């Protein structure tokens, strides 16, 4: 349809602008449907997790670089605080990269111009904490119970699928990890993903209830 409208012989067709506007809406709807389908298929398939030695400092640097152009367009600074942390864990690098990308994309959408996003690592002998913190608008209390539900989004129509955080929770769960969120309206939001350093450490993840909570499918992570 777009090709037909762009042809020279249709330059003077009646109500051409109305047709172009309608085609634009159709194209936007198709693109959104593609994104939703891609995310749903990726989650529903639940491919076999491939565990390998993974350096989180490298994954953070790669993912930040990938998201850098979008952040620069909004004059957002992404700060990496990796010093002193041992980011080597036994996990799935592909799925951790997806977690990072989802959280960074979410943060970039929440932060206005001249804002800051900080990605940091903290660790113990048995676990690693991956933190993505932004200076964005924060999350209202009434939305905190919904942000991990599928298709929930506060973005304008066509701008978000509402699946990013839902998919993130599912991935963290598959990796034997936990996720925590704190947010203040007008101040920003902090996501903290706690991952076991090895498969053997997964059984120890439940003894740190003060800093993390279990992921519940289709529900909020239960954060305060």
- Kindly tell me the burial class for residue 1, based on how many C-beta atoms sit within 10 Å of its own C-beta (0-12, 13-18, 19 or more): exposed
On whether both 90 and 197 belong to a single domain, the answer is yes
Tell me what percent of the residues of the chain surpass a pLDDT of 90.
36
- pTM score, whole prediction: 0.68
On whether both 172 and 74 belong to a single domain, the answer is yes
pLDDT band at residue 153 under the 50/70/90 scheme: confident
Query: Rounded to 5 degrees, what angle do the CA atoms 197, 200, 206 make?
Result: 80
Whether residue 220 lies inside any domain: the answer is: no
Task: For residue 134, give the 3-state DSSP assignment.
Answer: strand
Query: What is the domain range of residue 64?
Result: 50-207
- CB atoms inside a 10 Å sphere around CB 142: 7
What is the torsional sign of CA 21, 26, 29, 30?
Answer: negative
On whether both 76 and 145 belong to a single domain, the answer is yes
Question: Which of 140, 148, 41, 143 has the alpha carbon at shortest distance from 103?
Answer: 148
Distance, CA of 37 to chain centre? 16
Structural domain total, the chain? 2
On whether both 121 and 186 belong to a single domain, the answer is yes
On whether both 109 and 186 belong to a single domain, the answer is yes
On whether both 54 and 102 belong to a single domain, the answer is yes
Note the pLDDT tens digit of each residue in 68-87.
Answer: 888 998 999 999 998 888 88
CA 168 → CA 71, 100, 104, 133, 148, distances in Å? Answer: 20, 9, 11, 16, 9
Is 26's pLDDT higher than 90? no
Whether residue 197 lies inside any domain: the answer is: yes
Whether residue 222 lies inside any domain: the answer is: no
On whether both 31 and 108 belong to a single domain, the answer is no
């Amino acid at each position: 349809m777009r090709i037909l409208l762009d042809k020279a012989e249709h330059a003077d067709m009646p109500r051409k602008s109305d047709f172009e506007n309608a085609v634009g809406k159709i194209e936007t709807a198709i693109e959104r449907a593609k994104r939703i389908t891609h995310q749903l298929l990726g989650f529903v398939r639940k491919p076999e997790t491939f565990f390998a030695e993974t350096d989180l400092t490298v994954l953070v640097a790669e993912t930040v670089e990938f998201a850098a152009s979008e952040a620069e367009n909004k004059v957002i600074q992404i700060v990496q605080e990796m010093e002193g942390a041992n980011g080597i864990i036994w996990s799935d690098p592909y799925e951790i990269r997806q977690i990072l990308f989802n959280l960074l994309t979410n943060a970039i959408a929440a932060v206005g111009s001249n804002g800051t996003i900080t990605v940091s690592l903290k660790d113990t002998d048995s676990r690693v904490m991956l933190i993505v913190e932004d200076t964005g608008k924060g999350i209202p209390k009434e939305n905190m119970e919904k942000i991990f539900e599928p298709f929930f989004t506060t973005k304008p129509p066509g701008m978000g699928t509402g699946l990013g955080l839902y998919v993130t929770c599912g991935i963290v769960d598959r990796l034997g990890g936990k996720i925590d969120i704190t947010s203040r309206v007008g101040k920003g939001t902090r996501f903290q993903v706690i991952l076991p350093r090895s498969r053997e450490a997964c059984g120890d993840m439940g003894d740190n209830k003060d800093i993390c909570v279990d992921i519940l499918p289709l529900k909020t992570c239960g954060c305060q």
